Chains A and B, each alone.
Chain A
Amino acid sequence: MTGRSRGRSRRGRAFRRLALVALAACALALAFIPSATAKRDREKAAGGSTATTTTAAASPPSTTASTGAPQASAPSAATTTSAPAATHKHDGGGSERSAGGTAGAGKGGSSAGKGGSSASKAEGQGGAGASGTGDGGSHGHAGAGRRGATHAGGAGKGAGAQGAPEATEEASAGGEEQATAETQAVRGAGHGQGSGRKTSKGHHKEGASEGARAHESGKHGKTKAEEKAEQEKTEREGEQPAGSGQGGGSTTPALGSTPPAEALAPVASAASATPGATSPGPVASTLPGAGLATPARAAHRARPARRSARRHRAGRPAAVGARAAAGVGLAPPGTLDRGAGAGAARTPRASRGHRSSDGPASRIVTTITRIVDVVPAAARILIGVLLALALALAARSLLSGLRTRRLERQRRELLADVGLLQAALLPEPPARLGPVGTSVAYSPAEGPGAGGDFYDVFALEDGLLAVIVGDVSGHGRQALPHTALVRFTLRAYLEAGLAPRDALQTAGAVLERQLGGVFATVVVATYEPRERVLTYASAGHPPPLVLGGPGDAGTLSPVTICGAPPIGTGMRTGTRQTTVALPGRARVCFYTDGVTEARIDGELFGSARLTEVLAELPPEAGAAELLERVAAYAEARPDDMAACVLSVEGGDEAPRVLVEELEIDREEATSMRTESFLRACGVERGGIAEVTGSAFGAAGRAGTVVLEVRDDGGTPEVSLRRDHVSYLHARRAEVGVAR
């Protein structure tokens, strides 16, 4: 209990710490946002630091490679741009020419982005990339603004791709695919190329570095191109409808959805065989394909392209060219979808040289930054706190959810364990053991008295049947280990072949040390079905009720005087044993004191009432019914009730006691208790003194003697014998030898 609350408070502390950390993080973030943006703006103004440049330019070429891939003819152009970069990167920096090519790619991308933007602006200018995108948007497939935006970006990149080859003026390997190129696209390509050329001139060096970076990120051109092509293939397959929609009314749709397999091959070959080999034709066809094929991917790269465009305002002419091209064959502005519109909105600004307009994301960032700029410090802190709280709550709900699941799992496991433990402590015997019907029942107490009762019914060798029913002092969980200990110890001795009394005596001596002040009352019995003899020994436990078949056949009333004390009381136990003959039909009921101590009308239920209930039970009924009836009669059950009923088939002969045994030492031999015992067994007063006298002598100074009173119907026959429990005495003898 305390442990649990401690754990809870610990968790509470952890939670508070977490909340604090989150709060601090949010506050820091808020404090840094304005300064960070300002810094970035400054960098942009300065024409871009190397860091930004690389990132900006790095993506476009690789994008082109990827975007180009799906398109039948695109690959050549696309890969070319990226491939050279790769090669030259590996060559150690890159030659001027290829550098120019890459630069062109980068720039082309940027200008294409502008072209896209102008398209959305619907300025009436033509552009391949723009038209590709515009068509996609207008043909309504995109629906989703994001997709449209991506197309725009993709288109832009496509343009970039074209730009690169143009600049490098190399031959294309994918010439065949040209045939499939769309007029519009070609036209757009022309524009894109033009722009690419221009930019490439202006940004030679940077292009080189960009290309290099592009490949730094992509390991090598070839593999990357292949990978991308493959990725795009899958992506594009998924995007089929969008692709066709983007294609517009022209031949492009066919292109857009051309099998990626075709596209793949050229890409790979172009990448590996002729880096930088491109012709305008394929480039042109790239455009729509690029835009269509990989919207998602293109989206990522579109931004850097735009960024670079923004940075290099020198490339504005190119942008303008692209824009002009974009206008060609553009869809009417009204038909542009939201995505295209977004792209348009973004890019115009880029072309105008707006530093902060960086696409939708950057726009949001800018907006947020502006808002944050005007938010008072107090409000900022408040927002931070709220954010932290939200984070903390989310974390907490997550944790509690996890905990709930864990606890549920643990509960299931525990219930399973409890079931197993219960089964181990209170086993369910088979309904029949040989010729004897067996049944057991256990009913926990109402209140704190629960726990402590135990029973076991099992078969022994030679067809014998054994019963153990007992009660450990103390209740609840503390009693459980002791019940198991006593039960299994007794069971082991019975299995080893000891008679009930011997088993009790041995167990008593052994358990005395282990019970630690706890004591256990128990009755142990064996039934021999061939002879129909029941032998039981009790240690402080009520003896079993033995009823003959017919109700009036008589209830056995065995001698209870000189009962053996419970196990664990420090006294020698297992000193009494009773042997009963069950010639006819009979019922034997073992029970714990909880049954007789149940209350009825303010009185104890008692063994007499229990006998009545047992006699009234139908033949097929067992221990469970017995306890149910007792519970029905009783108004209070302060202790556990356990019962075990053995049913023996047969005639109407009544059960009778055959032998009563009492083990006594010298001192006990002459005690009044022993005298009472003999009297109860029917030994005549005259004979008692004789018996006790001989017992006194036979027991010796330290030994014991067993008085055996055999009742064969006539005068009881008393015999004295010295039989010791072999196990216990053997142990003692061994110890003596060792000393």
Chain B
Amino acid sequence: MRSKADNNDSAGAFAIDRRELDARTSAIAVTGELDLTTAPQLKWMLVDAIEEGRSRLVVDLSATSFMDSTALGVLVGVNRGLEPGGQLLIVCSRPSLLRIFELSGMDGAFTICATLDDALAGPAQRAAEAS
């Protein structure tokens, strides 16, 4: 699954997959392009997870080849709609996507981790790793 992540040919095939990691954590993995047509699916999956009581949401963009401003808007909207104590983590290591986050100025708004494990490790551990 992860092997496909860096393959540009997989861009056309969009897939979205949700896994329950624990009682409060949902991990949503997106494969392919997140754009005007596919971003709403991500939105509804995130909204469903929130409604089901998940407070820690991990969006795994490792296999995502592209995302546009619509997808960014979805992430921004969900991030703003989180209840106190809620958390939106983004897993992304692809430079093109990181560039999008940077140019949009949203890299400061989200917690962006290189891997899913990093994201699940918690802030303290992340800080320790970073230093």
Contacts and interface: CB of A to CB of B under 8 A. Distances in A.
B109 A602 contact: no
A671 B80 CA distance: 21
Interface string A448-481: 1100000000000000000000010111000000
Contact of A519 (B68, B73, B96, B108): B73
A573 B35 CA distance: 24
Contact of A604 (B66, B102, B104): B66
A569 B106 contact: yes
Contact of B109 (A448, A473, A560, A565): A565
A480 B105 CA distance: 24
B125 interface: no
Nearest to B107: A673
Given A561-B102, A672-B130, A638 B35 contact: yes
| Among B11, B96, B105, B108: residue with most chain A CB under 10 A | B105
A561 B103 CA distance: 7
A519 B107 CA distance: 16
Interface string A440-451: 000000001100
A471 B69 contact: yes
Contacts of A604: 66, 96
A563 B72 CA distance: 15
A672 B112 CA distance: 12
A566 B107 contact: no
B130 to A, nearest CB: 7
Given A449-B36, A540-B105, A563-B105, A569 B80 contact: yes
Interface string B87-131: 000000000100000111111110000000000000000000010
A358 interface: no
Given A473-B69, A561-B102, A563-B105, A602 B11 contact: yes
A563 B104 contact: yes
Chain B at the A interface: mostly helix, strand, loop or mixed? helix
B76 interface: yes
Contacts of A517: 77
Contacts, number: 71
Contacts of B68: 593, 597, 638-639
A539 interface: yes
B47 to A, nearest CB: 14
A603 interface: yes
Contacts of B96: 604
A560 B103 contact: yes
Interface in B1-35: 8, 11, 35
A521 interface: yes
Interface in A551-596: 560-566, 569-571, 573, 576, 593
Contacts of B41: none
Contacts of B130: 672
B103 A563 contact: yes
Contacts of B76: 519, 566, 569
Closest 5 CB pairs of A and B: A563-B105, A565-B105, A540-B104, A473-B73, A540-B105
Interface of B: 8, 11, 35-36, 66, 68-70, 73, 76-77, 80, 96, 102-109, 130
28 contacts: A449-B36, A471-B69, A517-B77, A519-B73, A519-B76, A521-B69, A521-B104, A540-B103, A541-B103, A560-B103, A561-B102, A562-B108, A563-B103, A565-B105, A565-B106, A566-B104, A566-B105, A569-B76, A571-B108, A576-B105, A597-B66, A597-B68, A602-B11, A638-B68, A671-B108, A672-B130, A673-B107, A673-B108
Given A593-B69, A604-B96, A639-B68, 20 more contacts: A475-B36, A540-B106, A542-B103, A543-B103, A561-B102, A562-B105, A562-B108, A563-B105, A564-B105, A565-B104, A565-B109, A566-B76, A566-B104, A566-B105, A569-B106, A569-B109, A597-B68, A638-B35, A639-B69, A673-B107
